[in-house]
Structure 1
């Protein structure tokens, strides 16, 4: 019986095991995004000052921890050739998996800390946010870095990303299930639901990481034996020069000369801004543009559809990437965003069915683009390795540096959006003065005021995608890591290795 169970698990492909890690993250993270603010505001009754202090500290920590943990994870691989012995690729993968097997369960436990009141709301809010985001960052960095470490070829990386999208779509089902348990008055059933999700995540991380480690330990052991043989052969000879460890300052100087990284980071900053703008203002657009024209069930369907559709849609995008390349597909998506926005602008806000399709598709295509960009970052990892002649790719560190540059887009999205909304309409969604609430209620019943607010929301909905698409097309046109350039980089990385690159199909 035990042999049968083991043979069943051992037959699961590496790509499926890698993709399953996305499931164990997404089932928790989607629930976190939906409910953590409402829990602290409505259930724990956190005060406004504590809430904004916690969010401010969280924004700073959220921006800095990506490069920090990336540097901690990868500094051992930068300049690590000692006496002619290098860290082999299987050993790098094992280090990533060891980090995931430790921090994955801790990430699930930090998720549980939100749903039980164990301290003053302000203090608990700050501690929970920082702990949760810290563990999430380590998990994301190592998981994304494995995309660049497990495979070099574009087809294999596309295959890995395909599995991630498939399992992320399955993970989005936790959002739909959560509606059955969410009750602000009786929080017990929701807590039990979160405990069940966390237990599933802990079990999944432990099993998936253990199975993956079993596959790479044999190859790593063979590499260590080969290294020991090389050491014995070198006895009596002058050892090779020991390479100096690269400092953070030197790495940043090298990165500042990486032109494709700079153009990609500029484009991705706009992309992160647009993704979070859509998430932040999706309910507002439903309320002021569609609430009086569609039923509540239709609005709920659009909201749920916008969560799960990007993952399913990405499966089709990845098949296109395998045929035409990531660069071309991303450029098509930018053009599509621009064309749809112009069509909606010409049609006007009174075309309700077209407006529903545009609001949903705008978020779906924007989120779908974000899912593809990990493939581009993996290509940048290859180019960074070749350009700077590194002994081992600094995958997690480069993913962390991209996050450092693009995370401000999360902050700019609500700030710029609310400012533009106030400029267009005079409507301040953060105003909480009781007298102003009465005046606003009276004004909203005024048809002229409502028309102004609706027109302002429509302009915000249309002009943000148009502006983002134009800026992204300009930056993307300067990005040269595609076509023959990309093929040359991949060939150089493969030829620079002392061994053949790991093929996911062979493991």
Structure 2
């Protein structure tokens, strides 16, 4: 027996396990995004009776925030001293429960929206839902994109990651088809609510699995004992005031403003 055969097989198993763990986040994002973006317009306009003026205002706010948060979160993850931002795996680990929670925001009313006096509250509900959901979508998927480069530099390994990711995306997108069957095209709204809770739980589990089981080529550097201590020390020194100061510097940076404007008009 070839003495190199066993190590090669072990490495192949590790690569497939790594690709599976990486694709778990794609499965989660695809499942939530398919349902969220398919239903939210109909949900708020037809079910919650959001006025056209509030809906248009919410779309403008969402459009502006969407243009800002991509470069903002990208800069924070690359330059922040916080461990949960600097470590891509920790960004997914801590972002998972928030993203799953924000996915549930649109499916539960904050008041009786059939009462005309609560139209403004339905509009606020829409704005908070869009901005909160998009924030965590950006935060987690930026970390996942960065993980892609950190897992391996070999073309064959990256090709395998892409294959697993595409399969996970197709499987995840079937969630919207299943939601239509379960809720009878939103006619049974309680069933849709229960289904969305199930999707959120599944997405949370998938992202947690991904963040725990993905291994990168920088694993020892990121999770070595000495680095953990230094990250903990840095995190303790990072106050809320300094975080606000850094955010302010980013927002008023000329290059950042130029990028946001270009992203906005695209």
The alignment's TM-score, normalised by the length of structure 1, stands at 0.39
Q: 2:50 aligns with which of 32, 46, 49?
A: 46
Q: Which residue number corresponds to residue 193 of structure 1?
A: 195
The correspondence for 2:106, drawn from 101, 114, 122, is: 114
CA contact (8 A) 1:42 1:184 kept: no
The corresponding residue for 1:372 is none
Structure with higher Rg: it is: 1
Larger RCO (CA under 8 A, 6+ residues apart): 2
Q: Does 1:104 align with 2:96?
A: yes
Map of 2:207 onto structure 1: 205
Contact persistence 1:40–1:125 (CA under 8 A):
yes
Correspondent of 2:62 among 35, 58, 62: 58
Q: Which runs of 5+ in 2 are unaligned?
A: 1-12, 112-120, 231-248
What residue is the counterpart of 2:176 in the other structure? Answer: 175
Q: Say whether 1:19 aligns with 2:23.
A: yes
Give the match's secondary structure for 1:180.
Answer: helix
| 1:93–1:146 Cα contact (<8 Å) kept | no
- Structure 1 residue matching 2:181: 3-state secondary structure: coil
* Separation (CA, whole Å) in 2 of partners of 1:206 and 1:92: 14
TM-aligned CA deviation for residue 191 of structure 1:
0.5
User: CA contact under 8 A between 2:77 and 2:86: conserved in structure 1?
Assistant: no
Cα deviation for residue 196 of structure 1 reads 0.6
Structure 1 CA distance, aligned partners of 2:159 and 2:262? 25
Equivalenced residues, count: 221
* Equivalent pair of 1:94/1:213 in contact (CA under 8 Å): no
Alignment of 1:222-261 (within 5 A): 224=226, 252=255
- Which is helix-richer, 1 or 2? 2
Quick one: distance in 2 between partners of 1:204 and 1:191? 20
SS in 2 for 1:114: helix
Q: Distance in 2 between matches of 1:404 and 1:148?
A: 27
Tell me if structure 2 keeps the 8 A contact 1:65–1:134.
yes
> Structure 2 CA distance, aligned partners of 1:190 and 1:215?
41
Shift of 1:14: 1.0
The whole-number CA distance in structure 1 between the counterparts of 2:215 and 2:78 is 19
Q: 1:97, 1:213 within 8 Å by CA — same for their partners in 2? A: no
Query: Offset at 1:63?
Result: 0.6
Give the Cα–Cα distance (whole angstroms) in 1 for the partners of residues 139 and 254 of structure 2.
Answer: 20
Q: Which moved more, 1:187-196 or 1:155-164?
A: 155-164
Gap runs ≥5 in structure 1: 1-8, 78-90, 229-246, 257-400, 410-507
Distance 1:161 1:404 in 2: 31
Asked if the contact 2:152–2:217 (Cα under 8 Å) also holds between the matched residues in 1, the reply is no
CA RMSD between the two structures:
3.3
Cα distance in 2 between the residues matched to 1:107 and 1:140: 11
| TM-aligned CA distance change 1:158 to 1:218, over 3 Å | same
Structure-1 residue corresponding to 2:138:
137
Per-residue CA deviations over 1:176-217 (Å, capped at 9, x if unaligned) read 111112344431011001011001111111222122369975
User: Are residues 47 and 12 of structure 1, via their aligned partners in 2, closer, same or farther at CA, if it must alter by over 3 Å?
Assistant: same
The within-5 A match list for 1:61-460 is 61-76=65-80, 95-119=87-111, 120-182=121-183, 183-212=185-214, 218=220, 220-221=222-223, 224=226, 252=255, 405-406=262-263, 408-409=265-266
In structure 2, the CA distance between the partners of 1:131 and 1:169, relative to structure 1 (3 Å rule), is same
TM-score normalised according to structure 2 size: 0.72
**Aligned match of 1:32:** 36
